[in-house]
A and B are shown apart, each in its own frame.
Chain A
Amino acid sequence: MSPVELVEEAQEPAEASTFSLADLLAESAAALTARPTRTLLTALGTILGVAALVTTIGLAKTAGNQIISRFDELEATRVLVRPEERQQGRNSVVVNVIPFDAGDRLRRLNGVVAAGTKSDVEIEGLARSVPVVDPLGLNEFQIKVVAASPGLFDAVRATLETGRFFDHGHNDRGDNVVVLGPGAANRLNITRLDNSPAIFIGEQTFAVVGVLRDVEREPDLLNAIIVTDGFARDRLGLLGPGEVHIETDIGATELIGSQAGIALAPDAPDQLRVSLPPSPRGVRSSVQGDIDALFLILGGVSLLVGAIGIANVTLVSVLERTGEIGLRRALGATRMHIASQFLFESATLGALAGLIGTSLGILAVVTVSFFRTWTPVLDPWLPFAAPLAGAFIGLLAGTYPAWKAGATEPVTALRSGT
């Protein structure tokens, strides 16, 4: 052997070790499928974490939409007008500029469905339905009295149990007629109107023309005796209605809110305070924000636990597979090859867990929605982002074990059996 020959031989390039992507995939898949039960259990934490996350995000979205649709129906068509309180010196003074024909004025505005006035009034004395005073039985009650214009019944969406609402005629004449809320009727023992019952409040006598079944707004009407504005004006000295309730078309509240003040008090619209429902967009974001924040934290915590689970088991499996690592190094694997295989295994595990978790989560959202008769609402990015998040978790969890596997010295590794 001449030195020249040796040098020539030495020029021959050494074949670098390779680990193709196809092999990486195949080796990782083989390792994951070698013990399917264990793989599944390892992934369980992440599966539950992702499922919790997807469920909570999905349910928050779904529930948020349901809440808003309820707001839409009742709240988003309601406008309330009250006199503005003003500071005069040390006292707050209310100058009432609401006219008694407020309901009629507002009805003329485009977008108003119904409008009526409501005022708390006081009549001296207790209410009773029988003219005699029974010393044994309790038949006199302190019952709230409310004065209303006929338009109020539509504006609060009242329904009748029996009888009728009082009308403009009653109101204009200031007749002694009342409509009873169901609570008040019950206490006064009035269940039917065919015998033309009357009630007494102090010295005043009233004919009962109707009994309410329910109202959708202003539930205090349910326990009240409702007299006409006209009666309150003529006989009780009511100077002006306390508040105006307006039901608008959907989407008309902003418009009516800007017009109501001028329609009611053209000379002093600034003395009225108009309450509008919260803007739907605001409601949506605030409700959803609350729910999301809470549930996202919960989901995040479960994901963290899942990640720790993967890291833990992967680390154990690195120790268990020390012999295999040694063998692979002997067969020509570099540190990088070993590390990338373990990293890819844990990332794949995370992605699979994410996929399963997403499926379970969506299933849970759909199931809950089915039983609550909700429409399930999912962000379209969610089913794609969740498995990616799982893969990321797996990648993160596998980093240390993979580094550990790569750093295992082949000499030491081969000493341990397979």
Chain B
Amino acid sequence: MKTPVVELAGVRRIFEGTPPVVALDEANLTINQGDYLAIVGPSGSGKSTLLHLLGLLDTPSEGVYRLDGIDTAELGERDRAGLRANRLGFVFQSFHLLGHRTNVENVMLAEVYRKGSKSERRTRAIAALERVGLGHRLDAFPTTLSGGERQRVAIARALVGEPSLLLADEPTGNLDSVTSEQILDLFDQLHHGGLTLAVITHDSDVSLRAERTVRIQDGVLSEATVVPTGDSP
């Protein structure tokens, strides 16, 4: 059996204050390679905290988090940032594209903090954009694109360099239902291509597409046991 992509063991995240807020309590979670996981829960439940922990943007107060078998607690800032650069891909609700740069340049930004050859950055960025079906809008600016297209550019940026895990935070939150469908179709496609995905959402349409669903309520993580129609066709 291969090493799981993500292993959370007894992870807690407590925000200091009076009184201290337990945003995530005793979370145990394993995401294996090729998993398609949806994390659902009402707002304020700790979804975002979990995503930030998984994305190495935040550190657990307690517990162990291994990414690709690497214990992240022991790492310094540069190594944590390096893991973000090389093994994680982020997709945000508000896209986070730079308006003054073309789509290709936006995608190329993903490799700025990575080691490796710079000469082929453009080639790889173009390949990623073609993979999300935007091969024809390479040199357009994101400001001229529709919401769905912008999210595709953001997904392409996350895909460059083949991350171990793609983290999506409400990827369809700013999109209409038709465009959302297209993005979810793209996720399905990527999942079938072997990509490991973790999608945070409160939209049941999104969670239904996933293989697994994890529910958070008041900082407590629980795996949904039965997923009646969750299997992708």
Q: Which A residues are in CB contact (< 8 Å) with B79?
A: 14-17
Partner of B113, one of A10, A35, A337: A337
Query: Shortest CB–CB separation between residue B105 and chain A, in angstroms?
Result: 8
Q: Fill in one digit per residue for A25-48: 1 if any B CB lies within 8 Å of its CB, else 0.
A: 001001000110000000000000
Assess the A332–B94 pair: CB atoms within 8 A.
Answer: no
Taken together as a complex, chains A and B put the C-alpha atoms of A334 and B105 apart, in Å, by 21
Interface residues of A in 319-339 (CB under 8 A from B): 323-324, 326-335, 337
Q: Which B residues are in CB contact (< 8 Å) with A418?
A: 94-99
Whether a CB of chain A sits under 8 angstroms from the CB of B46 is no
Taken together as a complex, chains A and B put the C-alpha atoms of A327 and B91 apart, in Å, by 10
Whether a CB of chain A sits under 8 angstroms from the CB of B153 is no
Assess the B92–A414 pair: CB atoms within 8 A.
Answer: yes
Assess the A1–B1 pair: CB atoms within 8 A.
Answer: yes
Taken together as a complex, chains A and B put the C-alpha atoms of A30 and B88 apart, in Å, by 25
Taken together as a complex, chains A and B put the C-alpha atoms of A396 and B105 apart, in Å, by 30
Q: Given known contacts A9-B70, A10-B66, A35-B100, is B83 in contact with A27 (CB within 8 Å)?
A: no
Q: Which A residues are in CB contact (< 8 Å) with B113?
A: 17-19, 328, 331-333, 337
Whether a CB of chain B sits under 8 angstroms from the CB of A22 is yes
Q: Which B residues are in CB contact (< 8 Å) with A5?
A: 3
Taken together as a complex, chains A and B put the C-alpha atoms of A418 and B96 apart, in Å, by 5
Query: Shortest CB–CB separation between residue B149 and chain A, in angstroms?
Result: 15
Q: Which B residues are in CB contact (< 8 Å) with A27?
A: 112
Query: Shortest CB–CB separation between residue B9 and chain A, in angstroms?
Result: 11
Assess the A324–B98 pair: CB atoms within 8 A.
Answer: yes
Q: Which B residues are in CB contact (< 8 Å) with A35?
A: 100
Interface-central residue, B75, B85, B88, B97, by most chain A CB under 10 Å: B85
User: Which one of B51-59, B123-131, B187-195, B211-219 contacts A?
Assistant: B51-59
Assess the B96–A17 pair: CB atoms within 8 A.
Answer: no
Q: Given known contacts A12-B69, A17-B78, A417-B94, is B3 in contact with A331 (CB within 8 Å)?
A: no
Query: Shortest CB–CB separation between residue A150 and chain B, in angstroms?
Result: 85
Query: Across the two chains, which residue of chain B brings its CB closest to A8?
Result: B69
Taken together as a complex, chains A and B put the C-alpha atoms of A331 and B85 apart, in Å, by 5
Partner of A331, one of B4, B101, B110: B110
Whether a CB of chain B sits under 8 angstroms from the CB of A6 is yes
Q: Given known contacts A15-B85, A35-B100, A414-B57, is B94 in contact with A330 (CB within 8 Å)?
A: no
Assess the A1–B4 pair: CB atoms within 8 A.
Answer: yes
Q: Given known contacts A5-B3, A331-B113, A410-B57, is B94 in contact with A323 (CB within 8 Å)?
A: yes
Whether a CB of chain A sits under 8 angstroms from the CB of B86 is yes
Q: Fill in one digit per residue for A404-418: 1 if any B CB lies within 8 Å of its CB, else 0.
A: 000000110010011
Taken together as a complex, chains A and B put the C-alpha atoms of A27 and B118 apart, in Å, by 14
Whether a CB of chain B sits under 8 angstroms from the CB of A85 is no
Q: Fill in one digit per residue for B106-127: 1 if any A CB lies within 8 Å of its CB, else 0.
A: 0001101111001000000000
Q: Which B residues are in CB contact (< 8 Å) with A326?
A: 96
B interface bracket (residues with beta carbon within 8 Å of A): 35 or more
Assess the A15–B109 pair: CB atoms within 8 A.
Answer: no
Assess the B83–A15 pair: CB atoms within 8 A.
Answer: yes
Taken together as a complex, chains A and B put the C-alpha atoms of A333 and B86 apart, in Å, by 11
Whether a CB of chain A sits under 8 angstroms from the CB of B71 is yes
Q: Given known contacts A1-B3, A6-B3, A12-B70, is B84 in contact with A331 (CB within 8 Å)?
A: yes
Query: Across the two chains, which residue of chain A brings its CB closest to B86?
Result: A15
Query: Across the two chains, which residue of chain B brings its CB closest to A327?
Result: B96
Query: Shortest CB–CB separation between residue B130 and chain A, in angstroms?
Result: 21
Taken together as a complex, chains A and B put the C-alpha atoms of A335 and B84 apart, in Å, by 13
Whether a CB of chain B sits under 8 angstroms from the CB of A23 is yes
Whether a CB of chain A sits under 8 angstroms from the CB of B82 is yes
Assess the B85–A14 pair: CB atoms within 8 A.
Answer: no
Query: Across the two chains, which residue of chain A brings its CB closest to B98?
Result: A324
Query: Across the two chains, which residue of chain A brings its CB closest to B79?
Result: A14
Query: Across the two chains, which residue of chain A brings its CB closest to B160?
Result: A331
Query: Across the two chains, which residue of chain A brings its CB closest to B106?
Result: A327
Whether a CB of chain A sits under 8 angstroms from the CB of B81 is yes
Taken together as a complex, chains A and B put the C-alpha atoms of A18 and B79 apart, in Å, by 10
Assess the A16–B78 pair: CB atoms within 8 A.
Answer: yes
Q: Fill in one digit per residue for A328-369: 1 if any B CB lies within 8 Å of its CB, else 0.
A: 111111110100000000000000000000000000000000
Query: Across the two chains, which residue of chain A brings its CB closest to B75?
Result: A14
Query: Across the two chains, which residue of chain B brings its CB closest to A19?
Result: B113
Q: Which A residues are in CB contact (< 8 Å) with B82?
A: 14-18, 332
Assess the A6–B100 pair: CB atoms within 8 A.
Answer: no
Q: Given known contacts A6-B69, A10-B70, A417-B94, is B86 in contact with A334 (CB within 8 Å)?
A: no
Q: Which A residues are in CB contact (< 8 Å) with B101?
A: 30, 34
Taken together as a complex, chains A and B put the C-alpha atoms of A333 and B114 apart, in Å, by 9
Q: Given known contacts A5-B3, A326-B96, is B114 in contact with A411 (CB within 8 Å)?
A: no
Q: Which B residues are in CB contact (< 8 Å) with A324?
A: 96, 98
Interface residues of B in 187-233 (CB under 8 A from A): none
Interface-central residue, B48, B78, B81, by most chain A CB under 10 Å: B81
The 22 listed contacts between A and B (C-beta, < 8 Å) are A1-B3, A10-B70, A12-B68, A17-B78, A19-B112, A23-B112, A324-B98, A327-B109, A328-B109, A329-B84, A330-B55, A330-B57, A330-B88, A331-B84, A331-B157, A332-B113, A333-B81, A333-B112, A411-B57, A411-B58, A417-B96, A418-B94
Apart from A30-B101, A323-B96, A327-B98, list 14 A-B contacts with CB within 8 A. A6-B69, A14-B70, A14-B80, A15-B83, A16-B82, A17-B78, A17-B81, A18-B115, A30-B100, A332-B114, A333-B113, A417-B94, A418-B95, A418-B96
